[in-house]
Amino acid sequence: MTEVIHRPRVAVIGTGYWGRNLVRNFYQLGALKTVADPDRDILASVLQEFPGLTAVDSLEEALKDPEIQGIVLATPPRLHAEQTIMALSAGRDVLVEKPLALNYEDGRQMVSLAERQKAILMVDHILNRHPAVIRLKEIISAGELGRICHVYSRRLNFGRIRREGKALWDLAPHDISLIMNLLDSLPVSVQAFGGSYLTPGTQDVADADLVFPMGVKAHISVSWLNPFKEQRLVLVGLDKMAVFEDSAPWSDKLVLYSYRLRWRGLVPEVEKAEPEKIQLTVKEPLKEQCLAFLAAMETRIPPTDSSGLEGLRVLAVLTAMDRSLEESRAQIIKLDAPVGDFQSSGVAQGSGYTVHPSSVVDSDVILGPGVRIWHFSHVLQGSLIGPDCNIGQNVVIGPRVRVGRGCKIQNNVSIYEGVELEDDVFCGPSVVFTNVFNPRAFIRRMSEMRPTLIKRGATIGANATIVCGHILGEYSFIGAGAVVTTDVLPHALMTGVPAKRTGWICRCGEKLGDDLHCRICGLKYEDFGQGLKAVDPKGE
């Protein structure tokens, strides 16, 4: 016997180019009851292709049907705010085509109304449902790319030219949402450039530079005046690079490039490897988004990567880009209070971080949400501290230092320019970093700084010294008081003066035996000659 699935009932408003795709998917899922469009000829063709549906000419008519629980809007962006507010006010859940609205204030009202009505509001950011993007998110979370330095996205084609709206608003929302999802953060500033060639005031071509916390920079190019179609996203990490090319066959959509950069003294060297094609499960992203909307209607929990709030964040970035186009200068994106203006007593807070009033944070510093900076510390100009870092007392960071997500830096540590910490690094009390190999008080050698990179998950014990110009591998462990004078392999346990490898350490911090099997967390490792690697790829 075939199981009957009772889905929430929805109406699709607008059955043009994209609305027809929404009609097809919700019809196939057994959730579509009604279609609405003012063009009777279009409605007639929809009913012929998808029999059994009810047809009306407006949203108002669709809302008269008490069986319809969800409204799917595929109408022009200028109507999104008005129609979404109408549907939410009538007690319906809403999935709206991107962008959420055409100005931030309208978007804020839509999100606020959905919260008051306890309604589901989602935006059709379908790329976040793409199997390649979901897999890429897992790869980034596992640290396979290393620290991400740069992202660029190109969405180009010839055609689908609009006289109403701009290429930026029509094409860029996908890329903005996608990049913010993969980097798990909102950009702090944008600068956009564009050109109007067909219709005055309507940019057919636009480029935008975005700066994210931790110094990651992204570039977005959109155009409907390009001789060929290109939908490509590239993420450049220090360990690997990833390319998502949506217009390629499924076997080639997601490819990793293990082009690693290593420092030999002050000289960077590139190590190349064969591209790795990532196997994907073939699924239609739009159908997955439709399923996500139906699931949210049942569970009352919208997915974070396409919620109304996510749509509002994208709208904030789009608005800043648009302002940048008009004013020909960079724009700061502000959703919360900016860095600075701390209170004179107690603990100052803003943008999700906490800074004790005895500490000093220079004006051009970027602090991620969840950062906590305690007594008598100083973060110098140009420095970037990622989300959820804990900075102890009497710590100096900078200038121009990058500290990754989730790092813990204990008391009395100074991290100078040239030193970089990736995610989840632990620095014990009084750890010493250097940035010049042979300092003299009477000889200026700042031009001779040697870079030091502390890789993801590494631990440095109390009073250890890290001589500049070296790399500490992933999840390595430097014993208290050790002096590191060489590169350190991933998972190596280093002790002594000078430090030497005296064992191997698990990701969880447990010392490994000769069988390289952790008795605490169960992970198994293999020695590949350049450190340890977990046998289970999910463990590394």
- φ, ψ of residue 169 to 5 degrees: the values are -75, -30
CA atoms within 13 A on the CB side of 419: 26
Residues 294 and 280 in one domain: no
pLDDT at res. 540 = 43
pLDDT at res. 266 = 61
pLDDT at res. 162 = 65
Angle at 184 between CA 276 and CA 78, to 5 degrees: 110
Query: Is 250 a member of any domain?
Result: yes
Query: Is 309 a member of any domain?
Result: no
Tokens found for residue 405? 């997500």
pLDDT at res. 252 = 96
- φ, ψ of residue 44 to 5 degrees: the values are -65, -40
Residues 115 and 137 in one domain: no
pLDDT at res. 128 = 94
For residues 75-112, b (16+ Cβ closer than 10 Å) or e, as one string?
bebebbbebbbbbbebebbbbbbbbbbbebebbbebbe
Residues 48 and 197 in one domain: no
Residue 121: burial class (beta carbons within 10 Å; 0-12, 13-18, 19+): buried
Q: How far apart are the C-alpha atoms of 128 and 144, rounded to whole Å? A: 20
Residues 54 and 90 in one domain: yes
Residues 172 and 208 in one domain: yes
pLDDT at res. 264 = 65
Can you spell out the DSSP letters for 223-250? Answer: ESEEEEEEEEEEEEESS-EEEEETTS-G
Residues 6+ apart with CB under 8 A from 258: 239, 240, 271, 272, 273, 274, 276
Residues 206 and 67 in one domain: no
pLDDT at res. 113 = 95
Query: Is 438 a member of any domain?
Result: no
Residues 274 and 146 in one domain: yes
Residues 181 and 325 in one domain: yes
Query: Is 17 a member of any domain?
Result: yes
pLDDT at res. 442 = 87
Question: Can you list the alpha helix ranges (DSSP code H) found in 30-130?
Answer: 40-49, 59-62, 80-89, 104-117
Residue 16 maps to which CATH number? 3.40.50.720
List, run by run, the mean pLDDT of 10-residue segments along the chain (540 residues).
68 95 97 96 94 96 97 96 97 96 92 94 95 95 86 88 74 94 86 82 87 84 89 91 96 90 67 89 96 95 90 92 82 47 34 83 82 94 89 93 93 93 95 90 81 94 95 96 95 96 95 92 89 67
Query: Is 50 a member of any domain?
Result: yes
Query: Is 35 a member of any domain?
Result: yes
Q: How far apart are the C-alpha atoms of 309 and 121, rounded to whole Å? A: 9
Q: How far apart are the C-alpha atoms of 80 and 76, rounded to whole Å? A: 7
Query: Is 405 a member of any domain?
Result: no
Query: Is 90 a member of any domain?
Result: yes
Of 152, 166, 174, 276, whose CA–CA distance to 223 is shortest?
Answer: 166
Is the model's pTM score more than 0.75? no
Residue 381, SS3?
coil
Domains contained in the chain, number? 2
Q: Which domain holds residue 149?
A: 128-285+317-332
Residue 237 maps to which CATH number? 3.30.360.10
Residues 26 and 79 in one domain: yes
Residues 269 and 135 in one domain: yes
Of 362, 478, 498, whose CA–CA distance to 428 is shortest?
Answer: 478
Residues 262 and 141 in one domain: yes
Residues 277 and 146 in one domain: yes
Q: How far apart are the C-alpha atoms of 276 and 258, rounded to whole Å? A: 8
pLDDT at res. 339 = 30
Of 377, 385, 346, 333, whose CA–CA distance to 359 is shortest?
Answer: 377
